[in-house]
Amino acid sequence: MGDYTNMSSYYDVIMTSGYYDYAEIVDDLERHGPFTNILEIGCGTGLILEEFGRRQSCPRITGIDLTEAMLILARKRLERFPAITLAQQNVVELSLTQHFDAAFSYGGVWYFVIDGENEPFMVSHIPGEADNATGLKKLADQISSGGMLLLGIQGPHFDYEKPISNGMTYAQKIAPHDYGFTKHYYLIDAGQKVMAQTIDYRTYSWAQTLEMLGALGFTFLPQSGDTGKFLAFRKA
């Protein structure tokens, strides 16, 4: 489930070749704040956390991730930022002693896809239905009453390949299935496949998402404008 070991050593170069804009992600998180104690679910190699760390207003942040190979890179990147701590955890078994006034995930465990005028749908790195329910409950339990859950927004997934900044070619292929889709990621160097990773994603309609999050005490907070990077929910 959601293991990024194969991609880990190439993750940064793929993401910083235009896949995500980390400054804009943190700008948008700050717009929803201020927060004093934040949890990132699926922090990967720590690129969002580094962007937070560099800013003067950096709050206390805990990043958790399932994939140890990603966290090895994150620990190195973030050792100079004392406000940021990391833990190797699967969100399905999340166990932390603190509570947070905000939790977010950007391309991490859960995120939304918005395709034009259609309703958003939620994408999960966790394929099992029961595991999603357990993970969301564990996450909700870590968020203080009145706190926020912010899940990132991405555009629709499609097949493509494009050159990245180290001269290699990144490629992705999407195969829909009955409960979501499978995404194949590749990296090609001089005609040779140097990395391949496959993730099985479960998707939830907007109505299913509102029902699941509503049952955990979350209310959707509609925003004006369409430039935001996150959909926001407030915990009762």
Ligand X SMILES: C[S@@+](CC[C@H](N)C(=O)[O-])C[C@H]1O[C@@H](n2cnc3c(N)ncnc32)[C@H](O)[C@@H]1O
Q: By the criterion CB under 6 A, which residues form the site for ligand X?
A: 1-2, 4, 15, 20, 42-44, 47-48, 64-67, 70, 90-92, 106-109, 125-126
Are the CB atoms for 111 and 153 separated by under 8 Å? yes
CB neighbour burial string for 65-96, b if at least 16 within 10 angstroms, e if fewer: bbbebbbebbbebbeebeebbbeebbbbebee
Q: How far apart are CB 13 and ligand X at their closest, in Å?
A: 12
Q: Which is nearer to ligand X, 3 or 188 (CB)?
A: 3
Q: How far apart are CB 202 and ligand X at their closest, in Å?
A: 11
Q: Which is nearer to ligand X, 136 or 213 (CB)?
A: 136
Q: Which is nearer to ligand X, 78 or 126 (CB)?
A: 126
Q: Which is nearer to ligand X, 136 or 168 (CB)?
A: 136
Distance between CA atoms of residues 40 and 11, nearest Å: 18
Compute, in degrees rounded to 10, the torsion defined by CA atoms 153, 158, 163, 169. Answer: 110
In the 8-state DSSP scheme, what is residue 46?
S
Distance between CA atoms of residues 57 and 29, nearest Å: 12
**Residue 152: count of CB within 10 angstroms of its CB:** 24
Backbone torsions φ then ψ of 114, nearest 5 degrees: -120, 120
Are the CB atoms for 165 and 13 separated by under 8 Å? yes
Q: How far apart are CB 108 and ligand X at their closest, in Å?
A: 4
Q: Which is nearer to ligand X, 42 or 120 (CB)?
A: 42
Q: How far apart are CB 133 and ligand X at their closest, in Å?
A: 13
Q: How far apart are CB 106 and ligand X at their closest, in Å?
A: 5
